[in-house]
């Protein structure tokens, strides 16, 4: 594996990107910001046809006692995403640096023992109380974290000058002709071409790449469903519960809470009204993403574990006439880290990938886009070399 980028890109600065989700739009933005011309192809009709259509999700760090590789990379990724959100998005409607309380269920999460530049701490009594949790609840506070609506970020990144997006373009095959990579439809018609091709089509990348010599990135699908509803219904229910029990209404946390699942409230739902969200399910070996009633039940149980008194008060929200759902396919790799960079720089020059974001695409895709562009432009990489090698796609290259 070669993670030495001293040579950089010497060809024309034109890239073709397949996939307009968080990964593809981040690559497109990072390249176009460095004066590349970028063409993006996506099979969907508009933003969010893949996992990045998630209505709302979290950019939050991962902590471990030894501040392991996953923790360090995720922290760098969260930092990159929050900076990008600050630059491109509307605070309060598209994202917020809200902080995230982690209900440390089973005490499994432990903070780093030494000072590692981590921004997480034990949650204070006031933060635990604000979440409506009992005072002895084990909890962490991630101050440098928040919620994001991924579609908004994708849309903003694709609007970068120099990026052209073509919707409704399903790529069925790719081929190298002389120094150019070509994307073809099912009839063999050329949909786009450029000297650099970045495949960012998540799990579908496998169909395009699996027969190429040298390709061995073990991408897997991991279906997930989030359940959501409207704040207006929720608040009425919480008031009714309080009246019936002659107690104060259960507390809605003023920030997202995660643990085994995550709860976000007061964030615009897909049609604009303020909503609440609980997710998400994890289902392996499933390549379709229908919304399922049984997954709403699983998310209801998740809420009951994460925020017990709120979960009790929110039972009516899970009635079939109230509950909404969104499901998508995450694209995962065995070590929960993505695959970025050349697929095999020797055998497949000019073919790069940015995929395998798993359950952390919000936290990782922007960083991967920057890594891609910095490596091509021979600039300082946004991660130290001892971390780059853990995300570099060529770690999987077949020799
Ligand atoms: C339920 C759920 C909850 C999640 N919650 C969080 C969270 O809270 N925080 C977090 O960080 N992450 C979360 N994630 C993960 C995150 O959504 C993903 O990691 C991220 O969206 C992946 O982005 P992507 O661009 O790699 O893939 P996608 O968004 O799937 O984009 C791939 C794109 O490629 C296009 N495409 C595919 N095949 C072709 C083809 N042949 N030709 C042309 N175009 C093609 C698709 O149309 C799609 O637009 C969640 C995911 C799910 C499912």
List pLDDT tens digits, range 94-151.
999 999 999 988 777 888 876 666 779 999 999 999 999 999 999 999 999 999 999 9
Under CATH, which architecture does the 220-332 domain have? 2-Layer Sandwich (3.30)
Looking at residue 194, the DSSP 8-state letter turns out to be E
Top mean-pLDDT range of 1-15, 234-248, 280-294: 280-294
Residue 209, ligand 1, Cβ within 6 A: no
Residue 18, ligand 1, Cβ within 6 A: yes
Residue 268, ligand 1, Cβ within 6 A: no
Mean pLDDT value across the chain: 93
Helix (H) or strand (E) holding 15: strand 14-18
Region 26-38: mean pLDDT is 98
Which residue minimizes the CA distance to atom 46 of ligand 1? 50
Region 290-296: mean pLDDT is 96
Which residue minimizes the CA distance to atom 31 of ligand 1? 21
pLDDT of 3 reads 46
In this predicted structure, which of 142-146, 178-182, 212-216, 389-393 has the lowest mean pLDDT?
212-216
pLDDT tens-digit series, residues 317-339:
999 999 999 999 999 999 899 99
Helices in the chain by DSSP H: which ranges? 22-32, 69-88, 125-130, 150-158, 205-209, 231-245, 293-306, 308-313, 361-376, 385-391
List 164's β-bridge partners, or say none: 39
pLDDT > 70? residue 219: yes
Is there a contact between 309 and 250 (Cβ–Cβ < 8 Å)? yes
84-110 residues labelled b (16+ CB within 10 A) or e (exposed): bbeebbeeeebbbebbbbbbbeeeebe
Which residue minimizes the CA distance to atom 12 of ligand 1? 360
Q: Tell which one of 201, 256, 284, 295 to mutate to probe ligand 1, the residue whose CB is within 8 A of the most ligand atoms.
A: 201
Which class for 193: exposed (0-12), middle (13-18), buried (19 or more C-beta within 10 A)?
middle
CA 289/CA 51 separation, integer angstroms = 10
How many angstroms does the Cα of residue 22 sit away from the middle of ligand 1? 7
Residue 360, ligand 1, Cβ within 6 A: yes
Pair type for strands 283-284 and 220-230: antiparallel
- How many CA within 13 A on the CB side of residue 311? 20
Q: Is 255 helix (H, G, I), strand (E, B) or coil?
A: coil
Residue 43, ligand 1, Cβ within 6 A: yes
Q: Is 356 helix (H, G, I), strand (E, B) or coil?
A: coil
How many angstroms does the Cα of residue 101 sit away from the middle of ligand 1? 25
Region 225-237: mean pLDDT is 91
| Phi–psi pair at 330, nearest 5 degrees | -80, 155
Provide the percentage of residues in the chain whose pLDDT is more than 90. Answer: 83
Residue 44, ligand 1, Cβ within 6 A: yes
Is there a contact between 136 and 176 (Cβ–Cβ < 8 Å)? no
CA 317/CA 324 separation, integer angstroms = 10
> Of ligand 1's atoms, which has the minimum distance to the CA of residue 224?
1
How many angstroms does the Cα of residue 150 sit away from the middle of ligand 1? 9
pLDDT of 7 reads 67
pLDDT of 390 reads 97
Residue 158, ligand 1, Cβ within 6 A: no
Homologous superfamily assigned to 14-51+152-219+334-396: FAD/NAD(P)-binding domain (3.50.50.60)
> Of ligand 1's atoms, which has the minimum distance to the CA of residue 25?
25
- CA distances (Å), 347 to each of 66, 267, 350, in order? 37, 47, 10
CA 80/CA 82 separation, integer angstroms = 6
Closest CA to 395 of 350, 334, 349: 334
> Of ligand 1's atoms, which has the minimum distance to the CA of residue 362?
11
The secondary structure of 63-119 as a DSSP string is: --TT--HHHHHHHHHHHHHHHHHHHHS-BTTTEE---EEEE-GGG-----SS--S--
How many angstroms does the Cα of residue 152 sit away from the middle of ligand 1? 13
155-186 residues labelled b (16+ CB within 10 A) or e (exposed): bbbbebebbebeeebebeebeeeeebbbbbee
> What are the boundaries of each domain within the chain?
14-51+152-219+334-396, 220-332
pLDDT > 90? residue 304: yes
pLDDT of 119 reads 79
pLDDT tens-digit series, residues 350-367:
999 999 999 999 999 999
Pair type for strands 351-355 and 196-199: parallel
Question: How far separated are the first and last CA of the chain, in Å rounded?
Answer: 9
pLDDT of 398 reads 72
Residue 330, ligand 1, Cβ within 6 A: yes
> Of ligand 1's atoms, which has the minimum distance to the CA of residue 205?
38
As a whole number of Å, the CA-based R_g of the chain is: 22
How many angstroms does the Cα of residue 73 sit away from the middle of ligand 1? 19
CA 130/CA 122 separation, integer angstroms = 15
Q: Tell which one of 39, 45, 52, 224 to mutate to probe ligand 1, the residue whose CB is within 8 A of the most ligand atoms.
A: 52
How many angstroms does the Cα of residue 126 sit away from the middle of ligand 1? 36
CA 343/CA 135 separation, integer angstroms = 50
Residue 19, ligand 1, Cβ within 6 A: yes
Q: Which residues contact 376 (CB under 8 A, 6 or more apart)?
A: 5, 8, 9, 31, 196
Residue 256, ligand 1, Cβ within 6 A: no
> Of ligand 1's atoms, which has the minimum distance to the CA of residue 354?
26
CA 35/CA 50 separation, integer angstroms = 27
Neighbour count for residue 40 (Cβ, 10 Å): 26
For residues 21, 37, 385, 394, the Cα torsion angle rounded to the nearest 10 degrees is 70
Which residue minimizes the CA distance to atom 41 of ligand 1? 171
Q: Is 369 helix (H, G, I), strand (E, B) or coil?
A: helix
The pTM score is 0.96
Residue 197, ligand 1, Cβ within 6 A: no
């Amino acid at each position: 594996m070669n993670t030495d980028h001293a040579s950089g890109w010497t060809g024309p600065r034109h890239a073709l990107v397949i996939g307009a989700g968080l990964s593809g739009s981040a690559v497109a933005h990072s390249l176009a910001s460095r004066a590349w011309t970028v063409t993006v192809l996506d099979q969907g009709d508009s933003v969010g046809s893949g996992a990045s259509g998630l209505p709302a999700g979290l950019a939050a760090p991962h902590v471990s006692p030894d501040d392991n590789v996953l923790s360090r990379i995720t922290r760098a990724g969260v930092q990159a995403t929050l900076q990008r959100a600050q630059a491109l998005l509307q605070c309060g409607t598209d994202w917020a640096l809200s902080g995230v309380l982690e209900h440390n269920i089973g005490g499994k999460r432990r903070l780093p023992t030494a000072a590692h530049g981590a921004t997480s701490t034990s949650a204070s009594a006031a933060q635990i109380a604000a979440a409506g949790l009992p005072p002895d609840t084990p909890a962490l506070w991630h101050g440098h974290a928040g919620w994001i609506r991924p579609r908004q970020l994708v849309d903003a990144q694709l609007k970068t000058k120099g990026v052209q997006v073509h919707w409704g373009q399903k790529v069925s095959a790719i081929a190298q002709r002389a120094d150019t990579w070509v994307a073809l439809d099912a009839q063999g018609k050329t949909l786009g071409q450029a000297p650099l091709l970045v495949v960012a089509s998540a799990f579908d990348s496998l169909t395009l790449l699996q027969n190429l010599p040298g390709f061995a990135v073990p991408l897997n699908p991991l279906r997930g469903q989030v359940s959501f509803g409207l704040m207006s219904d929720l608040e009425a229910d919480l008031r009714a519960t309080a009246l019936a029990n002659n107690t104060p209404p259960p507390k809605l946390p003023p920030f997202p809470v995660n643990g085994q699942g995550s709860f976000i409230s007061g964030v615009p739902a897909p049609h604009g009204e303020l909503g609440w969200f609980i997710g998400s399910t994890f289902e392996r070996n499933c390549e379709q993403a229908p919304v399922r009633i049984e997954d709403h039940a699983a998310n209801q149980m998740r809420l009951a574990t994460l925020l017990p008194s709120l979960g009790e008060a929110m039972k009516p929200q899970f009635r079939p006439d109230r509950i909404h759902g969104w499901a998508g396919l995450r694209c995962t790799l065995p070590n929960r880290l993505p695959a970025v960079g050349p697929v095999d720089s020797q055998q497949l020059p000019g073919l790069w990938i940015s995929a395998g974001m798993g359950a952390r695409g919000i936290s990782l895709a922007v960083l991967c886009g920057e890594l891609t562009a910095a490596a091509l432009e021979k600039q300082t990489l946004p991660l130290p070399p001892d971390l780059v090698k853990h995300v570099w796609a060529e770690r999987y290259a077949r020799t």
